[in-house]
Structure 1
Amino acid sequence: MKVAAPLQVLIPAVVILPLAVVLPGLCHGGGWDLIGAFAAAALQPSFDPIVLASLLKGLGVTVGVALLSWSLSLLLGLVLGLASSRLVWTTLIGGALPAELLRRLLALPRSIHELIWGLLLLQVLGLQPAVAVLAIVIPYSALVARVISDQLDALPDQPLKALLSSGSGGPAALITAIGPPLLPGVISYGGYRLECALRSATLLGVFGLGGLGNELLLTLQSLEFHELWSGLWLLLAVMLSLESLIRTLRKRWGLANRFGRRQAGVGRRGQEILILFALLLPLLLAIAQNLGIDPAALLHWQPLPPMDGSNWQDALALPWGRLISNTLWLTLLSACLAVGGAPLLLVLVAPWPLGQQLLRLLWALGRLWPPPLTALLLLFVFQPGLWTAALALGFHNLGILGRLLLEGTETCSGAPEDALHSQGVGPRIALLYGRLSALARSYLAYGAYRSDVILRETVVVGMMAGTGLGTQLQESLSSFAWDQISLLLVVYAALTLVGEDLSDRARRRLL
């Protein structure tokens, strides 16, 4: 027997059953009044001019850091992606060894979360705006390079071979053969990374690197919920505007791939992209100047305290088994809540006319609300630990996966669902077997990729909710135990690289 495809997307939601059993025992009941005040304040945000001025200033810093880091990581990632492509090196020198070496080298920076990079750079460079930009650029560049090199190597090589056989040089043949088919993927992924950069810039602000995230943390800690919601609604407006802009550009640039208009469409897209970046360059320079980013200051490093060899024994004696197992359990629980929760909620609200609109709002809040702040909010009523951290991380990723799933149901054909309706099938079953059936494998494939991302993000909520490698990393950073920090980074990088490999295998099997 084999589970039907639409039911496969609901299997991870089974984690809700043990969650319902465990949560009552974790509830200490001391903060439900605060949760109620927090929810009520959503309808009464503060309009104090002083508060709004401070929030807008922080929002400007966050958006500026996001734009700078996104632009630099996209440019650097494109160069590194070309340099780590097997197709490129095979065409130029007849072998792919340099690509293999660079791929393995880039695996390390992308395996470490941008928050860890930010905390490490903070120790070396001190508190300056460039730290937040570099913390995002380092892992994002490696991630972009991986995606671009994979897209390049997956392209059919027949056009390239035809150009080479006709006497074209290697570089010219590469540009002509791989440029047009690669461009749509780069545009689409670049838009996604801009959204991620905005979330990462907000997250880094929560941990003291400036911007709106810092304002949100201070208002939450001081229980100023009206001011907190003013910042959240501002951030939500920016995020939704950004998503709308990216969706519009994708539709505009994606339609030209059909009906034999590929070359003309690519030329038009290329011209518009060049114009867009020409307009973006002076804006980025102005942002860097307003943020006070000084490239020369990056050359002045603060010396780190020396690592005493006698302390390595204490570092090795840490409870590694418990730390690693908690991190893996946190990843699994969060991934199940996010992957299974999105289709379950969508099926439950299908008959309700306003249900999808409420889901859009819920998932938008999940995407914009940084996981550590969700963990702090949950600590008002739940004890710190694995399940509290899983709820915080699962809610954030539920927003991302839910948006993806809802967009998929809107773009796929509704004929199977209509056919089921005409036969008297209820709206929930019709949605499940009519639309979700066609999306099941691709959705689960993206869920496998998202699980890899969740593994990286466990360090974020671990610091707040007291579980996994994240809580130990916070303790080691606060005590400047660099021997422990070094081992933690090695273990964390190894886990994320193994998780990356497993998610790749799962996606290949599903697709």
Structure 2
Amino acid sequence: MVRTVISPLRKHKRFTLTAILILVFAWSLFSVQWSPELVHAGGVVMIIEIAKGLISPSLSPDVLLLGLKASWLTLTYATAGMAIAIVYAFIAGVLASGILSDGRGAKFFSRIFFRGILGFTRSIHELVWAWLFVAAIGLSPFAAIFALAIPYGGILGRIFADMLTDLPSQPIEALKTSGASRLQLLFYGYLPLVRADFISYTMYRYECAIRSSAIMSFVGLGGLGYQIQLALADLKYNEVWTYVFFLILLVILIDGWSSLVRSAMLEKGKKRIFVSGRISALVAAVLVIVSWCYINIWEGASLASLFTKENALYGAKFFGGMLGVGEESPAFFQAESWGNALRMTLETLEMSIMAIGFATIAAFLTVIPAARNIADGSLTAKRHWYSWIVFGIVRISYIFSRAVPELVWAMLIVFILKPGLLPGAVALALHNFGIIGKLWAEVIEDMDSRPVRNLASAGASKWQSLFYGVVPAVMPKFLTYILYRWEVIMRTTIVVGFVGAGGLGQQFKLSMSFFHYSELTLLLICYMLLVIIADLVSETARKSVK
């Protein structure tokens, strides 16, 4: 028998990675000057007022009616944006996979070129795209729709391309030998194999698009975020929470629909899959048609209105300004501007590390009681009367946490903490705490329970079973999700900066307000470089965990 020798470095690489992540998080904490001055003078009073609004949200008919209208507008923008995103993702994803290309050279070029396009479009946050479109075409609903369609199309396209390239080759080769053309291979070979996974991931992204649609208000576009922003400005916290609950309800409805679709796909009965699939497809088609009709008829927006001479002049002036047209010395040619931009890039990096650190600590402290197989005692063979109560409380906190967008959390927190990196990190952590906690709980629920049961039968206590049986088994996936969410946080740091949380986002807002367009280009270059570096570091670290 040949025994595989594992090097000490490879054997302890997960421990090494964990230690590195802890040290980097500790380093990021030094970017904040910890003192009581971090909290506003009236910060404690503000916390009490915000908590009162949470307990007793406004239920007046006017507020509820306004919440319904704003919810519909948020849903409409998200649906219209995702409709375009899916078309873009399908075309670019297929081309980026290289499955339609003949020859190695053509396939390599197709993958590099179209993956580069997908990478660029998904690296810039949707709110940044919204800023750019509003500056170019004005406060049109299409500014929100295109701002959602471009990054979400890039994300979906990348995932779709990976799904196509990771498929087993045997079914495709069998079709090739029967004389199938490239298009026949695509529609009868590749697509049936990836359809379920693609639909499932698209539904998840649709839920995310609802949250993203809500924050389009920051650039002057309507929806739930706009009403939250107005209520915050008037310090009407009871109305703020009413609109937040509308947003949470909207996310829960989409999440429930997504769960029904996924569960139907996992069923063995083909009839149920067929019926459920047809109903979901019909609902989706109706939503898309009604959304576009609403935008064109009720909102009075049309694609033709975008192609006017006035918009062409505005667009040419804005994008020309970003390229430095009309400036003697554009910002991206100035050493001082580069120095300031790189300093803010470092602050953005520190904010993202703090955020993922805070979210990880909170998720780690709550994930054990949030797992269903621990609550019912099936994993550890030990059950307590309070397990289901704690399970429900933690799971509700996860839903509440992730349903509120980062920008909305940041809007609330800047009323308590003074502007800087800390409020941005806390806002990002609050949103991602719910996401990481949910993902981790599902990892525990899906794990092999036999080793843990063996420990319990040998006399180990519940906590010994968890520490020696559960944690070592799930830690690799835990680390993978931490790194994945850090990538997402890196993209989102620029958003919380818009409300005074520091970093590149705060300077981006100032540059836009003062019409320093060449400075926007410099900041976007730094932002994209940071996102690309984060992707590479995260991908390398994830491979070392496997």
TM-score (norm 2): 0.84
Unaligned runs of 5+ in 2: 1-7, 375-383
Q: Read off the aligned partner of 2:196 and give its amino acid letter.
A: P
**Residue of 344, 368, 390 corresponding to 2:425:** 390
Choose between structure 1 and 2 for higher RCO, CA contacts under 8 A separated by at least 6 residues: 1
Letter in 1 for 2:85: S
Report Cα offsets for 1:47-81 as digits up to 9, x if no partner.
Answer: 11111111211111111111111222122211210
Shift of 1:125: 0.7
State the match for 1:282 in structure 2.
289
**What's the CA shift string for 1:109-128, capped at 9, x where partnerless?**
11111010000100111011
How far did 1:273 drift? 6.0
State the 1:445 CA deviation. Answer: 1.7
Deviation at 1:269, TM superposition (A): 7.6
Determine if the alignment matches structure 1 residue 234 to structure 2 residue 246: yes
SS of residue in 2 equivalent to 1:310: coil
- Number of residue pairs aligned between Structure 1 and Structure 2: 506
Q: Is the 8 A contact 1:338 1:398 kept in 2?
A: yes
SS in 1 for 2:193: helix
User: Counterpart amino acid of 1:122?
Assistant: V
Q: CA deviation at 1:277?
A: 4.5
Equivalent of 2:362, from 326, 341, 344? 341
**Cα offset, 1:140, TM superposition:** 0.9
User: Matched residues in 2 for 1:32 and 1:134: separation?
Assistant: 40
Report the counterpart of residue 148 of structure 1 in structure 2: 160
- AA partner of residue 410 (structure 2): A
Structure 1 window deviating more from structure 2 (93-102 vs 270-279): it is 270-279
Matches within 5 A, 1:100-499: 100-256=112-268, 274-289=281-296, 290-300=298-308, 301=311, 302-303=314-315, 304=317, 306=321, 307-312=325-330, 316=334, 317-318=336-337, 319-347=340-368, 353=387, 354-499=389-534
Contact 1:315 1:483 in 2 (8 A): no
Shift of 1:481: 0.5
- Native 8 Å contact 1:85 1:152 kept in 2: yes
1:37 partner amino acid? E
Deviations 1:290-343 (A, max 9, x none): 443311122232242554332425873221231111011111111222234312
Q: Is the 1:459–1:470 Cα contact (8 Å) retained in structure 2?
A: yes
Is 235-244 or 430-439 further displaced after alignment?
430-439
Deviates more, 1:134-143 or 1:104-113: 104-113
2:59 is aligned, of 47, 69, 80, to 47
Aligned to 2:107: 95
**Partner of 1:80 in structure 2?**
92
Amino acid at match of 1:329: E
Contact 1:87 1:96 in 2 (8 A): no
Cα RMSD over matched residues?
Answer: 3.1
Judging changes above 3 Å, is the alpha-carbon distance between structure 1 residues 92 and 273 closer, same or farther for their aligned structure 2 residues?
Answer: farther
Contact 2:344 2:504 in 1 (8 A): yes
Per-residue CA deviation, residues 136-176 of structure 1 (Å, 9 max, x unaligned), is 10111111111111111111222222221232222212322
Residue segments in structure 1 that go unaligned for 5+ positions in a row: none
Q: Counterpart of 2:69?
A: 57
Equivalent pair of 2:14/2:545 in contact (CA under 8 Å): no
| Paired residues of 1:70 and 1:137 also in contact (CA < 8 A) | yes
Aligned residue type for 1:477: M
Which residue identity is paired with 1:251? Answer: S
What's the % identity of the aligned pairs? 28
Aligned equivalents of 2:366, 2:34: Cα separation in 1: 21
C-alpha contact (below 8 Å) 2:261/2:276 kept by paired residues: no
TM-score normalized by structure 1? 0.89
Q: Distance in 2 between matches of 1:265 and 1:474?
A: 50
Determine the C-alpha separation between the residues in 2 that align with 1:460 and 1:88: 38
Asked if 2 retains the 8 angstrom alpha-carbon contact of 1:385 and 1:466, the reply is yes
- Counterpart CA distance in 2 for 1:268 and 1:441 is 38
Q: Distance in 1 between matches of 2:19 and 2:234?
A: 39
